[in-house]
Structure 1
Amino acid sequence: MAATSPARLHMTALARATSPVASLALAGAVLLTGGCTVANSGHGGYDPDTLRLVISQEPPTLEPCESSLTSTGIVVRSNITEPLIEREPDTGDLQPLLSTGWRQDSPTEWTFDIRSGVTFSNGAPFTAADAAFAIDRAVNSDLQCNVDGYVFGDEKLKLATPNDNTLSITTEKPDPILPLRISFVEIVPRGTSMTEKVREPIGTGPYAIADWEYGQKLVLARNDRYWGAKPTFGHAEYQWRSEGSVRAAMITNDEADIATSLGPEDGAGDRGVPFQNNETTALRMQAGEAPLNDIRVRQAVNYAVNRTGIVKALFRGLGDPASQLIPKGVVGYNDRLALWPHDADKAKALVAEAKADGVPVDRQIRLIGRTAQFPKIAETIEVLQSEFTEIGLNVKIEMMDTAGQLQYQLRPFPQNTGPYLLMIQHGNQAGDAAFTMDQYMLSDGPQSAYGTPEFDAKIRAAEALTGQARQDAFATLFAEEPQQIMQFAYIAHMKGIIGLAPRIHYTPNSATGDEMRLAEMTKAGNGSDLSDRS
């Protein structure tokens, strides 16, 4: 059971908000401080009470049940919406938020105590009934929420609310990490559509949407109804620029306070702060399509990838070559798993062998990347194409925006696409391999393109375990996947760079790439040293 501590309350109070608002246009429904951002000639032409952020892409939506998508979660989680429980990125500990405590009553039954005195940004009171509604909407509905597939899979939950401060959840089978899963569900009020996703949500967090000029900027305003500590900044203004060098220039030219997803070559200088994130890049191979349906061709793809060279030359050492889809620190990480060796001659021999057996290795394979997915994505894709061409494969590059690429990343995949290699970037925010396995390695996982019933059964067996047995079982599966399935060519465990203006104090952590808590950003004061925040 988790208890509430006053110190923790203060820290988490610096954090969250969300929900559906077909009607945030109902002015007066949300209490927001101040007006829109105003010019102030005494502060370089900007309002010092506005936190200015530049991100790599406009969020496709702020639908809370899509918050496990990086482009959505980086804005909505902890800022517009809140979950019942939150996970501390550095320790993995679960902390109380909208739930003050929880306990397991039986192998399939859990009880959550719901915090009193909380209201949504539109003034509606938050109760256990809202929590049950939000979980039912995200997990049990037909909305096809990303959080449902990513976190819960096929699980259906039974929800009951004996009173306003008690939520009971019953699972279909024992689930030893249900509280961790629940930490991914952002709470929205009753009345939110159960049949359509919302673009602009209402929540209980420290900020609410004030203005969204689609294609231009997004402004959040401090929610004066927030139950926790008042965040420092009255407003937060997001803009988006796809080029990392442009985002870095906005930091150095005092046009932004925070710039995300920078590369070492982008020119942020001493305003660029490196940090270890939880993202892993990999190529997913559409193994149901020839020639990728032949394991020898998939092995050749793996031999062709020069992971060490990519990390050294393109990422400038800001990353580590990857042998698996999760980084160190996540339950299930296998520290004995060696890198797949770079061996172009071996790759050529495998392609030639497959061709001799009638595999159509000359068939064109699409190599799909997402614009601004990570620094140097375009160059990385070009290097990979060159490596695959060298071993005898016919590969064509296709760069797409977020919406286009997600069609190929998330089920249901487009029909009649032909074979393709898809660059993915997976961040295991939860710290447990179950979330990676369910999403990417089950044969019918929401972001999986291939698998077998036998490997599925091994995943399910590992997920039922706890403690060291759980760790060992998942580590074994990461060693077996390249031998039995080989759906991926792993590239690198990534490190990030965030740009920070001198007036801002913020310490990035492993979750910063997926969830950037505005309430943790404060004014640094005169003479602050960026090195204090690295």
Structure 2
Amino acid sequence: MIDAPGPWGTGPFTLVEGHSRVQTELAVIQAEPLAATWMQREDRTARVRLTANPKYWDKVRGPHLQEIVFRNDVSPEQALDLVCTTEGQVDIVTEVPHREADRVQQSEHARLVTVDAVRALAGVINRAAVGLPLHDVCARQALNLAVNRSGLISDVFGGRARPLAGLTPPTPLTALHRAPNRLKAYPFDPERARALWRQVTDGPSRPLRITAMSDWEAVAHRIARDLEDALELAVEVSVLHGEEQLTARRRLAEKTDPPEWDILLLEQGSQAADTPPLEQHRAFVGRTGEFRAGPVVPEFERLFAAMVAQQA
């Protein structure tokens, strides 16, 4: 957090103009023992300017630039347009949306740089949904088997994603050669999905409700189409924007109100660089999980407690 104008700082750069704050609000997951998560809002001035610190101790690492200016006076869409169509206006744009990746690659002014991110896009299933058998493991398996992950990755993500088994991101710590017998992602098997769904339903049911954060609207509609085709089920999609997204995350974390959705699509990155799979699964299935919408998994709690004991 850079929360006051400089000049100050002992790193390779010194803040000389503006501020960039992260304002946090506490969302209590459980009171005893206390478990909570932070809801974040950002407060930035139109410009945040850093200049090179000539007294920085590590001359090899830098600084290698005289000045860096963060422009917060343009929207992400405007910034991407400037980096793709002009020179000298914007030099770097981070977090390029998947839907814009081809545009960047085709630009004569920009170059797309990709990395394997320590994060996952997942659907949180509301097991307590009224009118649908989502409490039954067969129904949840049917939902997973009905989704064509390969088609989703190629058609929506342009090939820039990977199917996951559980919530284990493809990082060097979780590479296949380290765990050759690891689980595989669900296959696309619409016939098996339909059979499982019919096994736990009795005739037509109400529509399945998918809610997605705004970045994943296209993903939600593609998944909805797969579910409609495989399960012969009506699916409704709603998209959250701005403050609605923070409210949905808070309600899910605090677990005080029943969700208004059956599946919530959201993205989560690991804050633990050494154990990303455990941290990701904690968020979704752990006792202190801010995205857990079902029962606590005792076996996971045992594994997580053992990891914490080793790290302490």
**Deviation of residue 441 (structure 1)?**
1.7
Q: Does 1:298 align with 2:282?
A: no
Q: Does 1:220 align with 2:196?
A: no
* Alignment partner, residue 174 of structure 1: none
Q: Give SS of 2:67's match.
A: coil
**Contact map agreement 1:438 1:445 (CA 8 A) in 2:** yes
Distance 1:379-1:232 versus aligned 2 partners, 3 A rule: same
Q: Does 1:388 align with 2:231?
A: no
Distance 1:346-1:226 versus aligned 2 partners, 3 A rule: farther
**Deviation of residue 155 (structure 1)?**
7.0
Deviations 1:35-57 (A, max 9, x none): 989xxxxxxxxxxxxxxxxxxxx
Distance 1:226-1:447 versus aligned 2 partners, 3 A rule: farther
Deviations 1:243-286 (A, max 9, x none): 5xx55431122242112333333344252323222232111111
- Say which of 44, 62, 67 aligns to 2:21: 62
Map 1:70-469 to 2 at 5 A. 143-144=25-26, 154=34, 200=43, 212=45, 218-222=46-50, 228=56, 232-241=66-75, 243=77, 247-254=79-86, 255-262=89-96, 263-269=100-106, 271-276=110-115, 277-290=117-130, 291=132, 292-329=134-171, 331=173, 335=180, 336-356=182-202, 362-371=205-214, 373=215, 377-390=216-229, 391-410=231-250, 411-413=253-255, 415-431=257-273, 432=275, 433-452=277-296, 454-464=298-308, 466=310
Distance 1:223-1:272 versus aligned 2 partners, 3 A rule: closer
TM-score by length of 2: 0.72
* Alignment partner, residue 88 of structure 1: none
**Deviation of residue 316 (structure 1)?**
1.9
Deviations 1:50-80 (A, max 9, x none): xxxxxxxxxxx9326x5xxxxxxxxxxxxxx
| Long gaps (5+) in structure 1 | 1-16, 38-60, 67-142, 157-184, 186-195, 201-208, 213-217, 468-534
- Tell me the number of residue pairs that the alignment of Structure 1 and Structure 2 aligns: 276
**Deviation of residue 330 (structure 1)?**
6.2
Q: Give SS of 2:118's match.
A: strand
**Range 263-272 or range 335-344, more displaced:** 263-272
> What is the letter of the counterpart of residue 111 of structure 2?
G
Between the aligned partners of 2:74 and 2:168, the Cα distance in structure 1 is: 28
**Deviation of residue 385 (structure 1)?**
0.8
Between the aligned partners of 1:236 and 1:252, the Cα distance in structure 2 is: 17
Between the aligned partners of 1:329 and 1:386, the Cα distance in structure 2 is: 30
**Contact map agreement 1:308 1:321 (CA 8 A) in 2:** yes
**Deviation of residue 445 (structure 1)?**
1.1
**Contact map agreement 1:364 1:419 (CA 8 A) in 2:** no
Query: What is the root-mean-square deviation in Å for CA atoms of aligned residues?
Result: 3.8
Q: Give SS of 1:275's match.
A: coil
Between the aligned partners of 1:283 and 1:268, the Cα distance in structure 2 is: 29
**Contact map agreement 1:365 1:418 (CA 8 A) in 2:** no
Higher percent of residues as helix? 2
**Deviation of residue 328 (structure 1)?**
2.8
**Deviation of residue 233 (structure 1)?**
1.5
**Range 254-263 or range 380-389, more displaced:** 254-263
Distance 1:388-1:35 versus aligned 2 partners, 3 A rule: same
> Alignment identity in percent?
16
| Long gaps (5+) in structure 2 | 9-13, 58-62
Q: Give SS of 1:281's match.
A: strand
